[in-house]
Amino acid sequence: SERHLQGKVSHERRYYISSLAPDAERLASAIRQHWGIENRVHWCLDVVFADDQMRARTAHAAHNLATLKRLTLNLLRQDPSQRKGSLKTRRLIANTSDEYRAELLGLK
């Protein structure tokens, strides 16, 4: 890959293991889709909820918390009031404001 940042160019070689046939267009599409999910969901979960720091290990706690975090992330993204601020800021506001939380849940 080639990256241009502040007038500097950096090159990086990436290796992938796949069962797909060696078709450059198809492989590039699959790789872009993977990184799209990584950037839209996993990165947001880590930044907004510190998901990588989660230490729930008993029974189904990790899975249950991950489901709740994804639900919350989707509610924040579909905020009907279109409140300005980052997802992290809106999460903190929802944590302290009953009115905003009711808006997010469609109760108001």
Give residue-wise pLDDT tens across range 31-53.
Answer: 888 888 888 888 888 888 887 78
What's the token pair of residue 99?
Answer: 């009115």
Q: Residue 41: which of 86, 71, 80 has the closest Cα?
A: 71
Give residue-wise pLDDT tens across range 67-93.
Answer: 898 899 999 988 888 778 888 899 999
Q: Rounded to two decimals, what is the model's pTM?
A: 0.65
Helix, strand, or coil (residue 107): coil
